[in-house]
Amino acid sequence: MTGDPRTQGQDQSDLFTGDGSDIAAKPTVQGTPARALPAFVLGEELSALADADPRIVVLTADLASANRTVEFKARHPERFFDFGIAEKNMVTAAAGMAACGQIPFAATFASFLGILCAEQIRTDCAYPNLPVRLIAHHSGISMGYYGTSHHALEDIAMMRSIAGLTVACPADAAMLRAMLRASLDLPGALYLRLGRGRDPVVYPEPPADFAFGRAWRLREGRDLAIITTGAEVRPVLDAAAMLAAEGIETRVIDMATVKPLDIAEVRAAAAETGAVLTVEEHNLTGGLGSAVAEVLVEGPRRRFARHGVPDEFAPIGPPAALYAHYRLDAEGIAARARELLAAPAA
């Protein structure tokens, strides 16, 4: 082997290819094909889009392997830029590239992008209405053992308060593909909030009629509506299946775009079901639940509750244990739904 001995064995690029020729059949530990995981498709999808669109450039901050933009580097090296551990510089440079007619996709951990770079996103990208696509991966508590500095539980609140910034959270790899494709024609800046990258399948194929600002009703039900986004969509669907076995029919809504919010779908959930519950991997302050509450407060009273991380810094631990701790797994979500339905009507 050649190269720095300290990094030998860390580069797994040979396990993945941009054209997907050898990853489709490689299962993960959970048995989900690697091709169906968000962590494996970002570089591949951007590479394919760049084949037909010379405006696309990709930037990252020392995380090309973690976010698989290394695949873009292999196919379009002249349009790939690694800024090292200099995330603020990366975002400002992306704004400069956008001002020159390019469509930059800047990717790094959500804790660094949405929180550390909030000023650059606001002033350099959103204020001048530039088409910068900010790819914030490993959001929420998905970094687990890395602790508070790497957890991103405040970013939705921060990002949705920035004027003119679209905020979207793909639930799985297929939805990520749809969002990346649609982003090429989206005016202004975009914040894409991804999970750990190992989110199980929700959508068999990228929705052909995807549009930012539209929610997706994945399950019908009159007893309860659960509005969720991003990595929590799959566990919410699993919780709805548990509740159905008990005779509780739950409407499941994927609020794929948190800003602009699909207000009509929120109002329909309130009018047509017995209660509304929001579920998110985010601090309860300012996130999806707050956005939905802002809509519901203007209408008739309904049983409503927000479910997420309370206003505290999450402990350090494996992600699965943290999800169980905060009841953000299927069992915990189902339990929270039962509590809401048992509460007195408003």
Domain spans of the chain, in order of start: 13-193, 216-342
> Matching CATH topology for 13-193 and 216-342?
yes
Sign for the CA dihedral angle at 254, 226, 148, 125 comes to positive
Note the pLDDT tens digit of each residue in 183-205: 999 999 999 999 987 788 999 99
Residue 254 and residue 203 in contact, taking contact as beta carbons nearer than 8 Å: no
Task: Kindly report the CATH class assigned to 216-342.
Answer: alpha beta
Mean pLDDT within 251-259 = 98
Grade residue 327 by pLDDT with cuts at 50, 70 and 90.
very high
Note the pLDDT tens digit of each residue in 172-188: 999 999 999 999 999 99
Token duo for residue 110: 């959500």
Query: What's the confidence (pLDDT) of residue 229?
Result: 98
Residue 147 and residue 318 in contact, taking contact as beta carbons nearer than 8 Å: no
Q: What angle do CA 41, 45, 46 make, to 5 degrees?
A: 120
Separation CA 33–CA 49 (nearest Å): 22
Separation CA 174–CA 176 (nearest Å): 5
Residue 136 and residue 108 in contact, taking contact as beta carbons nearer than 8 Å: yes
Query: What's the confidence (pLDDT) of residue 16?
Result: 32
- Model pTM score: 0.90
53-58: long-range contacts, CB 8 A cutoff, minimum separation 24: 53/103, 53/184, 55/101, 55/102, 55/103, 56/102, 56/103, 56/104, 56/105, 56/184, 57/81, 57/97, 57/102, 57/103, 57/104, 57/105, 58/104, 58/105, 58/106, 58/107
Which residues in 127-140 are b (16+ Cβ under 10 Å) and which e?
eeebbbbbbbbbbb
Query: What's the confidence (pLDDT) of residue 321?
Result: 95
Note the pLDDT tens digit of each residue in 12-69: 333 333 333 343 444 444 555 666 666 679 999 999 999 999 999 999 999 998 899 9
Note the pLDDT tens digit of each residue in 127-177: 999 999 999 999 999 999 999 999 999 999 999 999 999 999 999 999 999
Residue 149 and residue 111 in contact, taking contact as beta carbons nearer than 8 Å: yes
Q: Which CATH superfamily is domain 13-193 in?
A: Thiamin diphosphate (ThDP)-binding fold, Pyr/PP domains (3.40.50.970)
Separation CA 198–CA 319 (nearest Å): 12
Query: What's the confidence (pLDDT) of residue 345?
Result: 75
Sign for the CA dihedral angle at 180, 182, 186, 190 comes to negative
Query: What's the confidence (pLDDT) of residue 301?
Result: 86
Query: What's the confidence (pLDDT) of residue 299?
Result: 87
Query: What's the confidence (pLDDT) of residue 27?
Result: 45
Instruction: Determine phi and psi for 244, rounding to 5 degrees.
Output: -60, -35
Residue 202: how many CA atoms within 13 Å on its side-chain side?
31
Query: What's the confidence (pLDDT) of residue 24?
Result: 40
